[in-house]
């Protein structure tokens, strides 16, 4: 729709803003290196020319440690069992994989961890027999709440020698909650003729499917069973190509994530309010971009490994996360919530209520901390505001005025201008999620209060370019 030269200009400016702001973060990381090392104990590493590593991102350090020690080997064990059962006993493949998942669970989490997961599964399955969605949600919330009872936490810690083992159980139970909720809701929604596909054994096969066992990604029960019953036939040569290309791709993502935390001490600087308040506006913007992009690359690795194994199993894996630099709206970010809840086609009250309930569950599922409620509220308000603007622009009178006075190219530029404002709030909400309320407050004060008007307008100008790139991406990769 826009001239090619204009789109190339926006693309060039977007890349330029990214790389220059990252360079500013790199310079600040070198400048504050000694202070940050004293405060956060940066790791000495020989991986990237002797540069020190910012290891303060707990999630990355936690999963890399578990992955190298045990989980990656158990994933390879699953792959071997899957391929052997496909060759010699395909009819029993789901049950072979279920048994392997249970053994792997017992190996990593012990008999107590396996027993707790089976208890949660049995309770959820029993409540699903009432075929009431409200009861299913209440059951899931109740089981989730038991993970935060101090006495229960202490009892579970006593089962293990290290804190990391307890956290592995906690994260596994949290992810399993989404899985038994999916099974139970679909049990409620399906008619009696389909109930034979929702047996307790199929629930166990779904719950103990090992590639997604500890950290996801999320597959619905319906998708899992449909694909498991009619798997795609692949030749050995095709499977080897998929495996080798997948390994190369994941290694590149891992290398990129490691490079980022060696060159830029993003998380350490975010943990120090004094440094965050002292850096320049370019550095502040670069830190925000680096933080959200590292989160994106991190999950390309964490979800990419199980996705590759799922593909080797003959199933279609869930889509990997989309690059956050091409996101330009709350409804785009939360499409998997917003569309199932009715999107812009449902009633206003229904959309307000259902999205509020869903964001509340997402916030509680992540831990229910104060900053998560604030993050959920920001996202909910963002979805509501965008929906309101779309409804206003869809009114026939407004649509006629737009068609009469504005060309398609003008509408596209106006769309990007609105998207720039939306993207600024989307990034702010993500910074609250990743860094907490204090980080969000510092950004709000420095960019939108102290920085008004020049810093604010400059940020919106940069995001205007990003929005054009994101809108063009949507048009090119439109999903019906």
369: tokens are 């901390």
366 catalytic per annotation: yes
Beta bridge partners of 53: 43
Burial level of 253, CB count in 10 A (0-12/13-18/19+)?
A: buried
d(CA 266, CA 42): 12
d(CA 313, CA 74): 15
Best CA proximity match to 440, nearest among 451, 426, 453, 454: 426
Best CA proximity match to 188, nearest among 179, 178, 174, 198: 198
Q: Is the CB of residue 8 less than 8 Å from the CB of residue 465?
A: no
| Residue among 366, 369, 468, 477 flagged as catalytic | 366
C-alpha distances (whole Å) from 183 to each of 209, 263, 377 are 13, 44, 28
CA-CA-CA-CA torsion for 235, 304, 144, 152, nearest 10 degrees? 100
d(CA 297, CA 301): 7
Beta bridge partners of 386: none
Would you put residue 336 in left (φ > 0), alpha (ψ -120 to 50) or beta? alpha
**Residues with a known catalytic role:** 366
């Amino acid at each position: 729709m826009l001239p090619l030269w204009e789109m190339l200009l926006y693309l060039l400016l977007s890349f330029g803003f990214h790389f220059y702001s990252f360079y500013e973060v790199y310079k600040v990381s070198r400048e504050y290196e000694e202070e940050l090392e004293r405060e956060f104990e940066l790791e000495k590493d020989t991986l990237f020319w002797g540069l020190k590593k910012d290891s303060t991102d707990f999630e990355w350090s936690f999963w890399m440690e578990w992955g190298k020690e045990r989980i990656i080997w158990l994933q390879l064990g699953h792959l071997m069992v899957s391929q052997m059962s496909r060759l010699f006993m395909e009819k029993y493949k789901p049950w072979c994989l279920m048994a392997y998942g249970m053994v792997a669970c017992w190996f990593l989490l012990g008999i107590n961890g396996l027993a707790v997961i089976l208890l949660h599964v049995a309770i959820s399955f029993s409540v699903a027999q009432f075929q009431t969605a409200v009861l299913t949600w209440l059951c899931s919330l109740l089981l989730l709440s038991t993970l935060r009872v101090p006495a229960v936490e202490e009892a579970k810690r006593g089962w293990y020698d290290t804190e990391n083992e307890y956290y592995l159980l906690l994260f596994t139970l949290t992810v399993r909650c989404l899985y038994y909720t999916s099974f139970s809701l679909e049990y409620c929604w399906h008619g009696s003729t389909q109930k034979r596909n929702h047996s307790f054994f199929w629930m166990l096969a779904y719950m103990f499917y090992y590639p997604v066992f500890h950290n996801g990604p999320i597959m619905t029960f319906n998708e899992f069973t449909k694909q498991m019953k009619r798997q795609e036939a692949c030749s050995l040569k095709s499977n080897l190509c998929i495996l080798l290309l997948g390994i190369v791709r994941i290694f590149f993502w891992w290398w990129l994530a490691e490079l980022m935390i060696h060159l830029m001490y993003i998380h350490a600087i975010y943990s120090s309010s004094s440094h965050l308040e002292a850096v320049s506006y370019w550095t502040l913007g670069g830190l925000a971009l680096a933080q959200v992009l590292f989160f994106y690359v991190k999950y390309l690795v964490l979800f990419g490994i199980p996705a590759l194994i799922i593909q080797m199993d003959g199933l279609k894996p869930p889509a990997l996360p989309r690059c956050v630099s091409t996101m330009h709206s709350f409804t785009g970010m939360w499409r998997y919530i917003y569309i199932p809840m009715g999107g812009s086609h449902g009633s206003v009250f229904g959309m307000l209520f259902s999205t509020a309930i869903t964001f509340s569950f997402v916030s509680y599922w992540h831990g229910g901390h104060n900053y998560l409620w604030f993050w959920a509220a920001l996202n909910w308000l963002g979805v509501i505001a965008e929906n309101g603007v779309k409804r206003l622009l869809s009114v026939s009178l407004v649509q006629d005025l737009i068609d009469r006075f504005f060309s398609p190219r003008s509408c596209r530029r106006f769309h990007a201008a609105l998207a720039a404002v939306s993207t600024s709030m989307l990034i702010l909400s993500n910074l609250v999620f990743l860094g907490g309320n204090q980080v969000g407050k510092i950004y709000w004060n420095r960019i939108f209060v102290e920085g008004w008007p020049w810093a604010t307008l400059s940020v919106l100008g940069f995001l205007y370019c990003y929005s054009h790139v994101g809108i063009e991406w949507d048009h090119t990769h439109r999903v019906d």
